[in-house]
Structure 1
Amino acid sequence: MSPDDPDRPDDGAYERLLVLPDDLRSELKTPLGPIETDAEVLLEEIDGPLITVGDVVTYHFLEADYTPHVALVDERTKRQQVDEEIRDTVVAETDLEAVNPPAELSTDVIDVLLEGLDADGSTTILVEGEEDLVALPAIVAAPDGASVVYGQPDEGMVHVVVTDDVRAEVRDLLERFEGDVERLWAMLDGTH
């Protein structure tokens, strides 16, 4: 997304924390866990809090009568508007909003992610921009045994069970982002 793209949030509306470098893009296309196409099957494997990243993923769980602990949505799928039924379902109970441009992680989205993880009930976060990369800090911040589920375009839902090993793998990926990685770690410090 170029700086003059009309869909890009105003720079004054958020504080940039990390930017995805071009050389890491292809590596992030490799799923961090097994891929499943049926939310009902995934629910059998989930034992602990569920964090969903993506409108279609969140929609599938809501349609299976399961509300995620934290759901991050942006009203888009594969860079296109989601259809009206999906949008209406996933944003019906929006609790928090955050600004997070594509290929970036903002302090705003990290703050609301942490607020959602700390909440007693379920939290839906509507992201202005793009929520895709938030799966990474969600994996780092989520408690052991939590499930982070995100979409893999044209394949299904990736299920990541949070463990120390997976968290370390994701921390290594985030270390390779451009920006203030130390500030990210300071924000996430104390989540375990």
Structure 2
Amino acid sequence: MLRLPDDLRGAFKEPFGPVYTDAERLLADAGTPLVAVGDVVTYHLRQAGHEPQVAVIDGQTEREAVSDEIARVLDGEAHRVEVENAQATLSEDLLRALVDALDSAEPTVIVVEGEEDLATLPAMVAVPTGGSVVYGQPGEGMVLVSVDDEARSEARELLRRLDGDSEAALSTLEP
């Protein structure tokens, strides 16, 4: 549905919120629902005793397979949905799975065949005001995005700059 153009890659270098290295401190500041994007982030949240409402994982961290320890923790009890999403894209299946998971009463893990790196943007649009999105910032820690009108507007603007039908993507994410 959407593809990241090469000239927009730099827009994702700066974190969308504060960076944490301690999951318990992050959780103390996080809102509900909480969406985790990334295997290592999900691992740290679970190790801190918190099951995110939605976790988006792909079995990779920084283009390498996650360790066996992380894989064991990620293989939890939450409902699992599998989707395909190629590198540097956002597929319609991923967007729909994210919306469905947020509407579900039970925690959901979206297992991506491909790559989940861009899932932060649609999560920032789909999560209700007051909720949070957490994603990894390589070499730094976990970024906490508190979803409010400003964060949602920034995510919408970036989604509109991706190649493809951004208006269709936004209509999938917004009721």
CA contact (8 A) 1:59 1:86 kept: yes
Unmatched runs of 5 consecutive residues or more in structure 1: 1-16
1:24-173 matches, cutoff 5 A: 24-93=8-77, 95-173=80-158
Deviation at 1:145, TM superposition (A): 0.6
Q: What residue in structure 2 maps to residue 174 of structure 1?
A: 159
Deviation at 1:188, TM superposition (A): 1.6
* Identity over aligned pairs, percent: 50
CA contact (8 A) 1:76 1:82 kept: yes
CA distance in 2, matches of 1:23, 1:136: 17
CA distance in 1, matches of 2:173, 2:66: 31
CA distance in 1, matches of 2:153, 2:127: 13
2:161 maps to a residue whose letter is R
CA distance in 2, matches of 1:101, 1:87: 21
Deviation at 1:90, TM superposition (A): 1.0
Q: What residue in structure 2 maps to residue 4 of structure 1?
A: none
CA RMSD of aligned residues (A): 0.9
TM-score (norm 2): 0.97
2:19 maps to a residue whose letter is I
CA distance in 2, matches of 1:95, 1:27: 31
Residue by residue, what CA displacement relative to the aligned partner does 1:38-84 show, whole Å, maximum 9, x if unpaired?
A: 10111111231110000000000000110000000100000000001
Deviation at 1:92, TM superposition (A): 2.9
Q: What residue in structure 2 maps to residue 187 of structure 1?
A: 172
CA distance in 1, matches of 2:165, 2:11: 21
CA contact (8 A) 1:101 1:130 kept: yes
2:143 maps to a residue whose letter is V
SS of equivalent residue, structure 1 residue 26? helix
